[in-house]
Amino acid sequence: MSNLYIRNIVRFIALILIQVLVLNHMNLSGYINPYVYVLFILLLPVQINKSALLLLAFITGLTIDLFGNTLGLHTASTVLLAYARPGILRLFFKNLEFSADEEPNISKLKPGGFLKYTLVLVFIHHTALFFLEVFSFNGFLSTLSRIALSTLVTTLMIMTLALLFASRKK
């Protein structure tokens, strides 16, 4: 088994455990919900097969749904994030060359590029998740504020984790 598979399996388990055991039990004013497990999908290799990407997103979302009893909300949102990921990478980084197993990490994309990449995809994920959760346009402004605050907190946490992992590799 190659180093790439082991690294992604460890990353998957670690992010799921952080999400399920810590972040799902945090109450940040009842409005902010950080979901750092999406970092697993964000850091998958750029050249990954699209079917494999969607399948891994499905498994990731389903795992969070099983632990959180959220009836497919995370599965749908995470699959949407994975579906949008290749287009966002092409849109923002069309001039960058990626090798077969290279990840779109903070070292490759630079901090500003990684922030932009993360912010857009986390926003897509959170928009789908929170609108599916309320399944109504009642309280539209409160849902928008939940999306904005949760996106900012999640992106901040992801950037912190990405910087920590990048500094450990050096």
For the cut 60, the answer to whether the pLDDT of residue 170 exceeds it is no
Q: Give me the pLDDT at residue 165, please.
A: 79
Residue ranges in 31-139 assigned as alpha helix (H): 39-42, 50-68, 73-93, 106-134
Within 13 A of 116's CA, how many CA atoms are on the CB side? 10
HSE-CB of 59 using CA atoms within 13 angstroms: 11
Angle at 20 between CA 155 and CA 133, to 5 degrees: 70
Residue 142 has pLDDT above 60, yes or no: yes
Dihedral angle computed from the Cα positions of residues 123, 129, 135 and 137, in that order, rounded to the nearest 10 degrees: -20
- What CATH number is attached to the domain comprising 96? 1.10.1760
Query: Mind listing the pLDDT tens digit for each residue in 68-120?
Result: 999 999 999 999 999 999 999 999 999 888 888 899 999 999 999 999 999 99
Which residues form the domain of 13?
3-169
Amino acid at 5: Y
Burial grade of 152 (CB within 10 A; 0-12, 13-18, 19 or more): middle
30-60 pLDDT, tens digit per residue, is 789 899 999 999 999 999 999 999 999 999 9
Query: What is the model's pLDDT at position 11?
Result: 95
Q: Rounded CA gap, 37 and 13, in Å? A: 9
**pLDDT tens figures, 115-139:** 999 999 999 999 999 999 998 888 8
Number of domains the chain contains = 1
pLDDT at 137: 81
Distance of alpha carbon 154 from alpha carbon 139, whole angstroms: 22
